[in-house]
Amino acid sequence: MLAGLAEWVAPGQSPDVIHFNCGLHDSRYFKIAGTYQQPLANYTALLRGAVDWLKSNTDAQLVWATITPVITDRLVAYWTARAARGELKVEHFRYTDDIASYNKAAREIMEAAGVAINDLHAIVQLASTEELIADDGVHMTEKGTRLLAEAVADAIRGQLGS
């Protein structure tokens, strides 16, 4: 994300609202290497960099979206089954506790920076993680996608005052 910001936001053409998220990629744990795609310390440093860049280079109202839940048992079963069928190699997993840690760190950064938070993680949990997360344990069902879209649209409307 950080590397793309200057390309996505042209000088003098700030959007009114920027609604942003990252973390599902960063928190992937690579079993063979024994490391995360972005260990938590790297993630927080990069996220601070992104927030600093956005606040320095745009006039946008910023909204951070929390990382949506994963269901580790479900994703392990899904990807292991696909690997057993020879469809792919399983190189990484995601864990619920890691998502919580990454979300906690991100929240601290956003609160310190005065960035609004759209807690999509909580919205999914309150509605029904079991029902809204797809068979792969990470992505949303159609119902989950609709729920998130409405939450994002509401958050943006709130920032625009409409």
Partner 1 sequence: MLLAESKDKGEAHGSTKEPNLTQTTLLIGDSISAGYQSVVRGLLEPDGVEVTWQVGGSSA
Beta-ladder partners of 64 = 20, 117
- Of 22 and 76, the one with the shorter C-beta distance to partner 1 is 22
Q: In whole angstroms, give the CA distance from residue 160 to residue 16.
A: 7
- Of 1 and 90, the one with the shorter C-beta distance to partner 1 is 1
**Closest Cα to residue 127, out of 146, 144, 103, 152?**
144
Q: In whole angstroms, give the CA distance from residue 104 to residue 61.
A: 22
Contact 26, 38 (CB under 8 A): yes
**Smallest distance from partner 1 to CB 73, Å:** 19
Q: In whole angstroms, give the CA distance from residue 38 to residue 136.
A: 22
- Of 25 and 107, the one with the shorter C-beta distance to partner 1 is 25
- Of 77 and 156, the one with the shorter C-beta distance to partner 1 is 156
Q: In whole angstroms, give the CA distance from residue 83 to residue 79.
A: 6
**Smallest distance from partner 1 to CB 84, Å:** 24
**Smallest distance from partner 1 to CB 101, Å:** 14
Task: Give me the residues that bind partner 1 (CB under 8 A), please.
Answer: 1-4, 7-9, 15-26, 37-38, 42-43, 46-47, 50, 60, 65, 68, 139-140, 145-146, 148-150, 152-153, 156-157, 160, 162
Work out the burial of residue 107: count CB atoms within 10 Å of its CB; fewer than 13 is exposed, 13-18 middle, 19 or more buried: middle
**Smallest distance from partner 1 to CB 22, Å:** 5
**Smallest distance from partner 1 to CB 91, Å:** 15
- Of 23 and 79, the one with the shorter C-beta distance to partner 1 is 23
